[in-house]
């Protein structure tokens, strides 16, 4: 799978050259946008990672994991991923902070680290998307949108455990 | 929502620290937490800027438009009441293509325009139409081909293969999307 990333890079650059785009200038413009993105997520991340670090040091996350683990392990997945799965549809920043906590303690290549990676990569903040899109056109009756969105999230949780078990261990 | 969650996290940790007698650890975690967040932010700058630059090239080379042309036949099968050549369909496929490339800043404006068009098609009713519902469900799933920020976090915490999760992410996204669309479709039919 190591060819995917270089292939995408080459594909984009060649497409740019064919279309006579001044590739390096455009790259720099985009990179500056990336820098602005980092700047704009900084306050959120600092606030939430601090809160999650506090939660961990106080022993609250351990207590929750101990509480959930017996059930989770019977179903075949580590208890550490449950807080991430629960927070993911509600808060992108909050679940990111929990994910980073797992990366820090167990590592991104651990079983739990891989599962939360796949989970985070394959889901969006469902509540946020619903709020932004419907409120922009002033619609309050959203029928079964939330239900469909949450069923998709649940599927993503189940499949992130399955795919890691099958392909990445 | 986040106001409540954030305050709740801090409150819980204070209460827990009292119970478990870990007030000293909690006290130092306030500083170390903020510090490690800044270290993380600095370590992801390189990879994140690189990918934003790449996606900018993709966008300027017309890859977004090319993708939206590929997707509009598939999308017009999903959105039954939207005409294939309408501006609503154009915005929908541009939104989906921008999402695939991870151009969040571009995807949202296209999506908002699509919602506006869909509302007009629905005679400006105050209730979500089947097509609006489906469109929002598509946007609650992640379609991003290369989850760049995530890979940057993985790299920053010493992953030996930050990108190795990508095929699993694609498969998982596809399954989640299929379930989301199916639920949306089935309930739309039933509730009519």
Give per-residue pLDDT as tens, A83-99. Answer: 999 889 988 888 999 99
DSSP code per residue over B77-135: HH-TTS-TTSHHHHHHHHHHHHHHTT-HHHHHHHHHHHHHHHHHHTTT-SB--HHHHHH
Closest to A150 measured CA to CA, from B188, B191, B137, B78: B137
Mean pLDDT of chain B: 91
Name the B residues in 17-46 with CB < 8 Å from any A CB.
Answer: 17, 20, 22, 25-26, 28-30, 32-34, 36-38, 40-41, 44-45
For residue A100, is pLDDT > 60? yes
Tell me the two tokens of residue A52: 């999650």
Distance of CA B51 to the CA centre of its chain: 16
Residue B70 lies in a domain: yes
pLDDT at B156: 95
Share above pLDDT 70 across residues of chain A, in percent, rounded to a whole number: 99
pLDDT at A44: 85
CB-based contact, A160 to chain B, within 8 Å: yes
Which residue reads 């929750």 in tokens? A64
Dump pLDDT digits (tens) for B129-162.
999 999 999 999 988 988 989 999 999 999 999 9
pLDDT band at A1 (very low <50, low <70, confident <90, very high): low
**Mean pLDDT (whole number) for A136-163:** 94
CB-based contact, A129 to chain B, within 8 Å: yes
Neighbours of A116 (CB within 10 A): 32
Dump pLDDT digits (tens) for B69-121.
898 889 999 998 898 888 899 899 999 999 998 887 778 888 999 999 999 99
Residue B50 lies in a domain: yes
Interchain proximity A50–B34, CB inside 8 Å: yes
Q: How far apart are CA A128 and CA A1, in angstroms?
A: 33
For residue A81, is pLDDT > 90? yes
Which residue reads 């870990």 in tokens? B22
Ramachandran region of residue B124, left (φ > 0), alpha (ψ -120 to 50) or beta? left
Residue B26 lies in a domain: no
pLDDT at B2: 67
Interchain proximity A139–B61, CB inside 8 Å: no
pLDDT at B184: 96
State the burial class of residue B14 (Cβ atoms within 10 Å of its Cβ: 0-12, 13-18, 19+). middle
Name the B residues in 71-90 with CB < 8 Å from any A CB.
Answer: none
Domain ranges for chain A, please list them: 43-167
Q: How many CB pairs under 8 A join A and B?
A: 336
pLDDT band at A120 (very low <50, low <70, confident <90, very high): very high
Residue B154 lies in a domain: yes
Q: What is the ipTM of this complex?
A: 0.86
CB-based contact, B107 to chain A, within 8 Å: no
Q: How far apart are CA A107 and CA A100, in angstroms?
A: 9
pLDDT at B92: 95
Residue B169 lies in a domain: yes
Q: How far apart are CA A101 and CA A107, in angstroms?
A: 9
Residue B23 lies in a domain: no
Dump pLDDT digits (tens) for B2-15.
688 889 999 999 99
- How many domains does chain B contain in total? 1
For residue B185, is pLDDT > 90? yes
pLDDT at A5: 77
Q: Domain range holding B122?
A: 31-190
For residue B27, is pLDDT > 90? yes
pLDDT at B180: 97
pLDDT band at A61 (very low <50, low <70, confident <90, very high): confident
């Amino acid at each position: 799978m190591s060819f995917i990333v270089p292939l995408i890079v080459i594909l984009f650059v060649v497409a740019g050259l064919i279309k006579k785009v001044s590739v390096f200038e455009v790259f720099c413009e985009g990179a500056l946008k990336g820098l602005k993105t980092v700047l704009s997520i900084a306050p959120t991340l600092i606030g939430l990672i601090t809160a999650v670090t506090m939660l961990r040091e106080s022993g609250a996350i351990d207590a929750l994991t101990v509480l959930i683990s017996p059930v989770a392990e019977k179903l075949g997945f580590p208890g550490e991923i449950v807080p991430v799965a629960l927070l993911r549809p509600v808060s992108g920043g909050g679940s990111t902070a929990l994910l980073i906590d797992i990366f820090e303690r167990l590592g991104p290549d651990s079983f739990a680290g891989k599962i939360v990676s796949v989970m985070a990569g394959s889901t969006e903040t469902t509540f946020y998307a619903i709020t932004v899109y419907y409120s922009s056109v002033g619609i309050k009756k959203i029928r079964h949108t939330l239900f469909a969105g949450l069923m998709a999230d649940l599927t993503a949780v189940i499949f992130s455990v399955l795919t890691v078990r099958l392909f990445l261990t | 929502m986040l106001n409540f969650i954030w305050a709740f996290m801090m409150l819980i940790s204070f209460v827990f620290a009292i119970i478990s007698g870990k007030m000293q650890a909690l006290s130092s975690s306030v500083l170390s937490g903020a510090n490690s967040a800044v270290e993380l932010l600095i370590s992801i700058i390189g990879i994140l800027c690189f990918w934003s630059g790449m996606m900018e090239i993709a966008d300027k080379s017309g890859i977004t438009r090319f993708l939206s042309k590929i997707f509009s036949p598939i999308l017009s099968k999903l959105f039954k009441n939207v005409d294939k050549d309408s501006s609503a369909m154009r915005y929908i496929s541009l939104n989906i293509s921008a999402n695939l490339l991870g151009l969040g800043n571009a995807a949202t404006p296209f999506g908002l325009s699509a919602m506006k068009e869909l509302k007009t098609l629905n005679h400006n009713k105050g209730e979500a139409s089947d097509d609006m519902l489906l469109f929002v469900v598509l946007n609650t799933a992640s379609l991003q081909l290369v989850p760049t920020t995530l890979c940057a976090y993985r790299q920053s915490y010493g992953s030996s293969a930050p990108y190795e999760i990508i095929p699993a992410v694609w498969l998982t996204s596809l399954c989640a999307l299929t379930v989301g669309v199916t639920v949306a479709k089935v309930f739309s039919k039933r509730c009519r």
